[in-house]
Amino acid sequence: MLKVKNIRVGYGNVPVIFDFSFEVKKGEVVAIVGSNGAGKSTLLKTISGILKPTAGEILFNGKRIDTIPAYRVVELGISHVPEGRQVFGKMSIKDNLMLGAYVLRSESDKVSRLKEVYDLFPILWERENQKAETLSGGEQQMLAIARGLMSNPKLLMVDEMSLGLAPFLVDRVMDTLKVIRDKVTVLLVEQKVQEALEIADRGYVLQNGRLVIEGTGAELLESDIVKKAYLGL
């Protein structure tokens, strides 16, 4: 579904990602893990069209997307849930969700999609008229994921889902990915290495903008490199 080939990305003259390649197959949960500053968020911004690579190419369902604007990437079926949730706090939960549906053409499609999202996240339906800022951190993360799903994406990219959440909320939010994985392909970027790899079919470890190791989630959890660098074992 997604193929990233030897991309290089930077900010001005400062390189961040060096010749990084990976792929995501339909129906998978793929995790990109690594410490803060490794280049993970930069990678997702490049795939979604916010940043442009200086080398390499990105293909989505066989179509090159690194040369098109971000709004076209969304229309093709990639939804990006940004780091820090970025919900619109003064707007209602329902209005936040409807903003995520702007690419859907008919009102009936939007209503149908809203019902599907509410079925996944009943807490949002119960509070749909509340302002988003009244939700807890974990609930706001669910709202951000739900908003990303409103465009009916083929690929959902989630950036640092656990950021700023208490450990029990991390588990709760991770469980939501187990629910949606049957409906959409997921690319997850995460500092919580163990939690991400436990739910991932495959994973890639990014360090200082370079690929260190790749494998199935289970293989990476047993890797000496991962154990020493990220799991404290």
Q: Indicate if the pLDDT at residue 49 is higher than 90.
A: yes
- Reported as a single tens digit per residue, the pLDDT across 66-99 is 999 999 999 999 999 988 678 988 999 999 999 9
Q: Are 117 and 81 in contact (CB under 8 A)?
A: no
CA–CA gap between residue 49 and residue 45 (Å, rounded): 6
Question: Strands 155-159 and 78-81: what pairing?
Answer: parallel
Exposed / middle / buried, residue 163 (Cβ in 10 Å: 0-12, 13-18, 19+)? middle
**What is the rounded average pLDDT of the residues 47-75?**
96
- Reported as a single tens digit per residue, the pLDDT across 165-189 is 777 777 777 887 888 888 899 999 9
Q: In the prediction, which pLDDT does 15 show?
A: 92
**What is the rounded average pLDDT of the residues 122-144?**
91
Q: In the prediction, which pLDDT does 35 show?
A: 83
Q: In the prediction, which pLDDT does 13 show?
A: 86
Distances in Å between the Cα of 31 and the Cα atoms of 136, 169, 188, 200, 217 are 25, 19, 5, 6, 8
Share above pLDDT 90 across residues of the chain, in percent, rounded to a whole number: 70
The pLDDT confidence band at residue 219, using thresholds 50, 70 and 90, is: very high
Q: Indicate if the pLDDT at residue 233 is higher than 60.
A: no
Q: In the prediction, which pLDDT does 70 show?
A: 94
Q: In the prediction, which pLDDT does 158 show?
A: 93
Quick check: helix, strand or coil at residue 92?
Answer: strand
Residue 190 makes CB contacts below 8 A (sequence gap 6+) with 31, 32, 33, 40, 160, 161, 162, 196
Q: Indicate if the pLDDT at residue 18 is higher than 70.
A: yes
Give the domain ranges of the chain. 2-230
β partners of residue 214? 204
Q: Indicate if the pLDDT at residue 26 is higher than 60.
A: yes
Q: Indicate if the pLDDT at residue 108 is higher than 70.
A: yes
Q: Indicate if the pLDDT at residue 232 is higher than 70.
A: no
Structure tokens at 39: 């280049």
CA–CA gap between residue 208 and residue 230 (Å, rounded): 14
Q: Which CATH class is domain 2-230?
A: alpha beta
Q: In the prediction, which pLDDT does 76 show?
A: 96
**Considering the chain, what is the average pLDDT of its residues?**
91
Residue 2 makes CB contacts below 8 A (sequence gap 6+) with 23, 24, 47, 58, 59, 60, 78, 155, 187
Exposed / middle / buried, residue 215 (Cβ in 10 Å: 0-12, 13-18, 19+)? middle
The pLDDT confidence band at residue 131, using thresholds 50, 70 and 90, is: very high
Distances in Å between the Cα of 155 and the Cα atoms of 27, 86, 143 are 9, 19, 17
Q: In the prediction, which pLDDT does 37 show?
A: 81
